[in-house]
Chain A
Amino acid sequence: MTQLIWNGLFVGSFYALIALGYSMVYGIIKLLNFAHGDIYMVGAFIGFAVLSSVGVIPASMSITALLIVLLLTMIITGGIGVGIEYLAYRPLRNSPRLAVLITAVGASFTLEYGVSAIAGPNPKVFPVRLEGESFDFLGARISAPQIVLMVIAVVLMLSLNSYIQRTSMGRAMRAIALDPKGALLMGVNVNKIITWTFFIGSALAGAAGVMAGAYYGKIDFLMGFIIGLKAFTAAVIGGIGNIKGAMLGGLLLGLLEAFGSQWLGGQWRDVFTFGVLIAFLTLKPTGLLGERVTERV
């Protein structure tokens, strides 16, 4: 039981990191960035490339090395996110939603198969594997790497939250989310904020990618597809567009999934998750923390 809860929370913190990017972008420009899950995948591959080029890293240094790689990857994936926004989404800012969604699918496709063309279609083994002792805590087996990754994830989320709540940039983001035209009239540089949002969201997804690579040890070019869908599910559960909701939704989805696969069997895990997504969208499309929006005619 505690084991399930722990596993759920652990996986959930990954979902939460990716869901944040989904939710931030959606909150600000009402765009479902399909390519977001693939940014996570790209992050894992960048981490892989950097670590492989460095060579053998002694086990004692692995956490330091990981942190450096993490930072580097976040900057690069952030840049990629900004590039995608600039090339693919910005020209379509005022286009019908269908066109933007199709563009997002195209961007996702480009990333997936671009990586597979560069790195090859076969799964890669991550050069650094976090290892450490595990110990029992209230009947759950918890390993040191899990703790490390969990701490990193929590630190990232907390700093994002205070960034959005405390800084002027964060205030501008919230303003655009509430009323883009009003924000523009009040002198907010909307393009700059959108760029930043993509940067932060993509950086977080890239971080999650490196962490997942380091933890699971294996990466492939389609790894972002399912996790992107799940992160979206997490964002919907929490209330899409809501930052705290995305974190809550991620953790909750991790827990639901842990219990669901215990109950139905591991092979039904993803079916169960998508079932949860559909149920949520049907019954409570605003999510747990989302606000009800009255649609104007």
Chain B
Amino acid sequence: MSENVDTSRAPRRIGKPASRFSRLFESKQLGWGAFVVAIVFPFILATPYAMNIGTTAVIFILLASGLNIVVGYCGLLDLGYIAFMAVGAYTSGIVSKAWDLPILFTIPAVLVMCILAGLIIGGPTLRLRSDYLAIVTLGFGEIIRLTANNLSITGGPSGIYGIPGIELFGLKLSDSVPFYYFCVVVVSLLVLGSARLGKSRLGRAWRFVREDEDAAEAMGIHTYKVKLAAYIFGAMWGGLGGMLFAAHLSAISPQSFVFLQSALVLMAVVLGGMGNTRGVVVGAVAISLLPEFLRDMGNLRYVIFGVVLVAVMVLRPQGFWPSRAFEVERTDGESENADPGPGDSVSPAKGGTL
């Protein structure tokens, strides 16, 4: 590592013991609370406009939780994340129209294409230094968009339209309210999934890589594979988001996948609190709803976003709701005398991929 990596440990205030107030925010029931809010929302406001905004916000949460895997857990800056969403949206659009399939049947194709895209983008670039990676992903984002713009199979600049809505057990969910509920359920599961990944062996490996790649290698973590895994999971989440997006709008075009969108998803992750699922969800809701409230301001709202992004990084780099490294101390009796040895018999089977 070069010199300035070694010195790059800014004092961050994430180690403070949690106050009673903030412990409330760490509670396990919070996820259920958010889920209930999302379920109740249509009973309060079910205008087509509100449903449209709500569905968009829910899909945006999915994108943010996917990018959180890459940026928040693994510390890899991806500036072209929207490309994965584009891959998912185009794959589901093309496949469902070409074979006249219900859109849910395109999920395997979407996942396969996203894994491929993750491998193609991550494969050559994840060996690079982190800042090169950022700009290369930016380039890849543009490549995907321009390719969609240039090819005829993707419909060129006008894109694909007439994509079928969701159909489940013969039940058409194309109405705005049922479709919203469908998105809420799917996205909740995927958000839960990304949170669970974060708390697993693989998730810890991601954090080790983020914190100190060399030390992680020295502990036997194949950092390249681990980073690639983060990329692939991020790609799958993004691709599924793209599929929902295609089903929601029934039309997609390259204009939906510009850099601005990547930057907005990144903002949701950064402002919410990198690595903390709850923060990211809140950040995503804020970023997707704020432009609706600030519609009169035109492009000035994006100026505000930019300034806020800089200000957050300078003043509170851990985001508004940071992930807090904290675990309960040991509760059971101490086991001082049990010195484990190298050939310990209690060790579960060695290995397990990832």
Contacts and interface: CB of A to CB of B under 8 A. Distances in A.
Contacts of A278: 124-125, 136, 139-140
A180 B3 contact: yes
Given A121-B299, A278-B124, A271 B314 contact: no
Interface stretch (A97-105, A127-135, A251-259): A97-105
A32 B131 contact: yes
Interface stretch (B44-52, B142-150, B194-202): B142-150
Given A109-B263, A270-B142, A278-B124, A95 B77 contact: no
Q: How extensive is the interface on chain B, given as a class?
A: 35 or more
A262 interface: no
A103 B128 contact: no
A268 B151 CA distance: 10
B63 interface: no
B90 to A, nearest CB: 16
Chain B: interface secondary structure? helix
B27 interface: no
Contacts of B299: 113, 116-117, 121
Interface string B307-325: 1111001100100000000
Contacts of A99: 10, 313, 317
Interface string B104-139: 000000000000000000001101111110111011
B268 to A, nearest CB: 12
Contacts of A105: 79, 263, 266, 309
A123 interface: no
A102 B150 contact: no
Contacts of A30: 2, 4, 131
Most chain A C-beta atoms within 10 Å of own C-beta, residue among B79, B130, B259: B259
A232 B71 CA distance: 22
B8 A181 contact: no
A107 B308 CA distance: 10
B150 to A, nearest CB: 5
A96 interface: yes
Contact of B138 (A121, A229, A268): A229
A96 B309 CA distance: 16
B150 A97 contact: no
A160 B298 CA distance: 40
A296 interface: yes
Contact of A96 (B8, B71, B134, B136): B8
B303 A110 contact: yes
Interface in A80-110: 87-88, 91-92, 94-103, 105-110
A271 B310 contact: no
A106 B142 contact: no
B116 to A, nearest CB: 16
Contacts of B71: 98
Interface in A212-256: 225-226, 229, 232-233, 236
B135 A97 contact: no
Nearest to B301: A113
Contacts of A88: 310, 313-314
Given A106-B309, A268-B150, A117 B8 contact: no
Given A32-B135, A102-B309, A105-B309, A229 B142 contact: yes
Contacts of B143: 270-271, 274-275
B3 A181 contact: yes
A113 B313 contact: no
A297 B217 CA distance: 11
A64 interface: no
A113 B303 contact: yes
A109 B142 contact: no
Contacts of A103: 309-310, 313-314
Contact of A108 (B1, B306, B317): B306
Interface of A: 30-32, 34, 87-88, 91-92, 94-103, 105-114, 116-117, 121, 180-181, 225-226, 229, 232-233, 236, 267-268, 270-271, 274-275, 277-278, 281-282, 285, 293, 295-297
Interface of B: 1-5, 7-10, 71, 75, 77, 79, 124-125, 127-132, 134-136, 138-140, 142-143, 146-147, 149-150, 214, 259, 263, 266, 270, 298-300, 302-303, 305-310, 313-314, 317
